[in-house]
A and B are shown apart, each in its own frame.
Chain A
Amino acid sequence: MAQVDGFLVPFGPVAEAQRTELIWTTAITMIAILPVLVGTPLILWWFRRGNTKATYRPQWHFDTKLEILMWGGPTLIIIALSIWLTQAVFRLDPYREIDAEMAQGMNFEITGAPVAIEVVGLDWKWLFIYPEEGIASVGEMVIPVGRPATMRLTTDTVMQSFMAPGLAGQIYTMAGMVTRLQMIAERPGTTVGENTQYNGTGFPAQRAPVRAVPPEDYARWLDNARDAPALDAETYAVLAHSGDVAKAREDLDRPGDGPLVFSLADPRLFDRIVARYRRGEPVEPEAQPGSPLYRPDRAPLPEVSR
């Protein structure tokens, strides 16, 4: 299937920066651990009991210079790593939208307006809503090369974690809450949008390709989706039921295989899903997709005002 070589083969600047972090952190830390890796065998060999040439110093137990080195060396390394780490955390913060300033600092190009994507974690599939485009997709996320994807994420079941390793790291999704993630692709490519937080038997199936495509292909994909059947509240209630994408196709009577696309009937669907858990009244298991007791007809989504 898709490219799953993760962030070691990035095609976006965020994942690329993360790979750089990995390389440098490893290299700097090596300063501290190489002496152990090399020194231990040598010491064990030279100071073996049978070696009469080695000096035996049974009472040697302190050396100021050595102490300074022992404490000072790691301290300096950690200071260096901390500075390095702080910069990276602020630069790559998943809540910080990818803008011109970031593009300049990290030396990549933004060629268009951001694409808003709303991600809903379901058991065991991802629903990607493109509210501004009026479409939705299940089991596949498509973004145009060169335009930042600015994502809001939640789940309509237990906690999950969304990651598209070739483009960016992961963020948890939690019911009734919205988290954020940003990514941008520099060139076309495919990675896997995977859930990394165990959420039941279908867990290994919850892997949706994330494709970065040229703008023309993206436009064509959108057009195609706009012609697809609508995702309204009733369809959503069925879609949210436990099962992978194939099961969803069956339930919705949409034969075929692979990802599903919809035209979006309600641009506020995402907010309504979040609001389900924030009404200040109990949500029965029958109304919680992902519960074994879930009944689509008993799980109306609340209305939200703008």
Chain B
Amino acid sequence: MIDLFGRLEWQELKLLEFFHDPSIDTAVASGAAWMTVVAAIAVIAWITWARRWAWLWNDWLTSVDHKKIGIMYMVIGFVMMARGVFEGVVMRAHQTTALDGGVLSNEHWAELFSTHGTVMIFFVAMPFITGFMNYLIPLQIGARDMAFPVLNQISLGLTATGAALTMISLVVGAFETGGWTAYPPFTGADFDPGPGPDYWVWAIALSGFGSMFSGLNFAVTIYKMRAPGMHFLRMPVFTWTALCTSILLVFALPPLTVACLMQALDRLAGFHFFTNDLGGNMMNYANLFWMFGHPEVYILVLPAYGIFSELTSMFAAKRLYGYTSLVIATMSISVISFCVWLHHFFTMGNSATINAAFGIATGIIAIPTGVKVYVWMATLWGGRIRFTAPMVYMTGFFILFVIGGLSGIILANPAINWQVHNTQFIVAHFHNVLLPGLIFGIFAGVHIWFPKAFGFRLDERAGKITAWLWIVGFCFTFLPLYFLGLMGYPRRSAAFDNPEFLPYMIVCMLGALMLMAAFAGLFVTLWVSIRKRDELAVPLGDPWDGRTLEWATSAPPPPWNFAMIPHIGERDAFAREKADGRPYVTPEYYEDVHLPPNTSAGLIAMVATTAFGFAMTWWIWWLAVASVLGFILWYVVHSFREHPEVTIPAVEVERHHAAWVEAATLNEGVTRDDETNSRNRGRAATDMVVAS
């Protein structure tokens, strides 16, 4: 007989755990499960009540518009971040009480750091950068869409699959407990037969395919779809960083996916890749994982560097200093990032020569990174700096990121690394580069491009307060961990026995509360801004006196981005047009625009792969087979169907474009003094006195 539910049993439902065995620990577990379920029901109910299903389906879920897909990535990122931040705060609360114990069970603590790390890296940071690249690449290179719009939607679907599986693990069963790295043999079947590692394996493997496809798509888009005249050395710096990240995605994700699938074979089919016995060797896993893992940190941080490059020049009202240096630095970082992975296990017993070689390689990668920081400082030098919310984030980034860089250099020295590896020093280090580096960059970017995407600015005051909260909260939460690490306190510890640690823990706890407030601050900012959206509206599309092509469109841009594909004569094309006093021109004639039609490919992929991942986790074999066969079948049928392009007639393009140009021309524009008040409608009276 077919086993309908595999190894899934009723007790696995975490909703009931608390009622069987009431304690703080089960309250947190069941509470999280209930929260997930209730939130899901609430969203569904709201959509139904507001009669938004058709809108959601037609305008978003089946859309292949890169802008919409980008925004949906951001939504996934923020939803998952809510969970990640919450888990972070719970962990900090636990550790504050952890002198010889703690409020949570050790098992639950392990699940928390594992899900927190996995969620933050794969389902917060990755969607954030993928979202930004999606939104910005075509706009910055003067294209109408990605090279492969449907594949783009499928990538989104696969990312959503991974996120969904980690959310399902909150309600059904349990997640893995071996950290975001999931090192075997701890996660092998001999030591953890349960569903946890399987959830991890399938969430990461399936979403990994999505990320790799995104990389391919972005790289091809940048190679093939740049507007005429946009040579590589005329591309905006963000696009450059996006290109490098895409290349890294294509080369770095496969080792991870392969390592996951090898783990799956170990767990399900009795293979011995990473087991203790029969020649299995976890060192192979460590190598494969970090062959992905190190490039991954640059995958995440390069686009943020791109954002910081754009924003320094934007808010200093100045041309970027050292464009070529930045490009060379970005490229060399991408290449070297594949040559340093061993620094994640200097402690594995490698020969001194190997340790030294990788230590030096790691040092070398700091050179281009250092150059970047100096380039940004030089960009600010001689500018007319407006201290807007994005600049607050940037200030925090400059000061804190170099501290992260310092701890990176310290860790690159194997002799010191042997002492601080696996301690809180590492926890401090990677949060130090991920928060100020990546997350601050993303939030600064949200401030800058939100008006482009939605047609109104974010409230400046709320934004600034939030930014400061992030900075101060970060310092409190993570800087003390450096000292705990130097004192030898291991990471992932549910308890400690040294009363001297307690004061540090309390400071961290305060910081975590600030970070929670900062996270809430993002939504307060959004709320305030939505309420004031008429006052903050910038329909003309250029609120910050931008320099690159995306600012030469209305806000939000039409689905076809550009009425006519622009011809590019130099770098910072839009800045030049404004300086020359000839922005907003209407072309001599308009043409029909052809766009790809909506499709449910991404959704089908998501449903099928989520079912597959769930089935493989719980050994529901019929469902695994059915979901794969179903997907293949759908794909075959789908490819035989006709896919009529959507044609936007020239008159409609003209109507939209002419109306926008007229509005822009009628508006005399605001100087940067009025940038943040309601006079700013998105027409910039440029600040740049341009000598040529």
Contact = CB atoms under 8 A, between A and B. Distances in A.
Interface stretch (A217-225, A232-240, A282-290): A282-290
A4 B321 contact: no
Secondary structure call for the A interface: mixed
Given A4-B487, A40-B399, A204 B370 contact: no
A59 B421 CA distance: 46
A76 to B, nearest CB: 10
B538 interface: no
B347 A172 contact: yes
B322 A86 contact: no
A81 B414 CA distance: 12
A198 B492 contact: yes
Interface string B165-206: 000000000000111000101100111010000000000000
Interface stretch (A48-56, A111-119, A263-271): A48-56
B367 interface: yes
A201 B110 contact: yes
Contacts of B364: 78
Interface stretch (A18-26, A100-108, A134-142, A254-262): A18-26
Given A26-B406, A36-B398, A291-B190, A169 B494 contact: no
A90 B391 CA distance: 45
A201 B347 contact: no
Given A176-B277, A291-B191, A90 B363 contact: no
B488 interface: yes
Contacts of B410: 22, 25-26, 29
Contacts of B692: 59
- Kindly name the residue among A55, A57, A157 whose own CB sees the greatest number of chain B CB atoms within 10 A: A57
B322 A61 contact: yes
A33 B385 contact: no
A297 interface: no
B402 interface: yes
A186 B363 CA distance: 32
B498 A288 contact: no
A8 B490 CA distance: 15
Determine the interface band of chain A, counting residues with CB < 8 A from chain B.
Answer: 35 or more
A56 B384 contact: yes
A241 interface: no
Contact of A169 (B282, B419, B486, B490): B419
A92 interface: yes
B679 to A, nearest CB: 16
Given A170-B421, A171-B347, A25 B191 contact: no
A200 B399 CA distance: 37
B377 A40 contact: yes
B416 A174 contact: no
Contacts of A49: 317, 384-386, 672-673
Interface centre among A66, A78, A96, A168 (most CB of B within 10 A): A78
A66 B497 CA distance: 52
B265 to A, nearest CB: 15
B223 interface: no
Q: Which of B189, B419, B495, B497 has the most CB of A within 10 A?
A: B419
Contacts, number: 305
Contacts of A283: 276-278
A54 B383 CA distance: 8
B433 to A, nearest CB: 14
Interface stretch (B152-160, B351-359, B591-599): B351-359
Contact of A67 (B325, B366, B414): B325
A165 B410 CA distance: 16
Nearest to A280: B278
B179 A198 contact: yes
Contact of B352 (A89, A168, A179): A89
Contacts of B190: 285, 288, 291
Contacts of A285: 189-191
B493 A204 contact: yes
Contacts of A18: 415-416, 418-419
Given A94-B418, A170-B422, A59 B352 contact: no
A4 B364 CA distance: 33
Chain A to chain B: the 5 pairs with minimum beta-carbon distance, closest first: A169-B418, A6-B488, A196-B422, A57-B382, A283-B277
Interface of A: 1, 4-8, 15, 17-18, 21-22, 25-26, 29-30, 32-33, 35-37, 39-41, 43-44, 47-49, 54-63, 66-67, 70-71, 73-75, 78, 81-82, 84-86, 88-96, 157-159, 161, 163, 165, 168-172, 174-177, 179-180, 191-192, 194-205, 207, 277, 280-283, 285, 288, 290-292
13 contacts: A4-B500, A18-B415, A32-B370, A44-B395, A47-B382, A47-B385, A75-B367, A78-B366, A82-B359, A85-B356, A163-B422, A176-B276, A207-B497
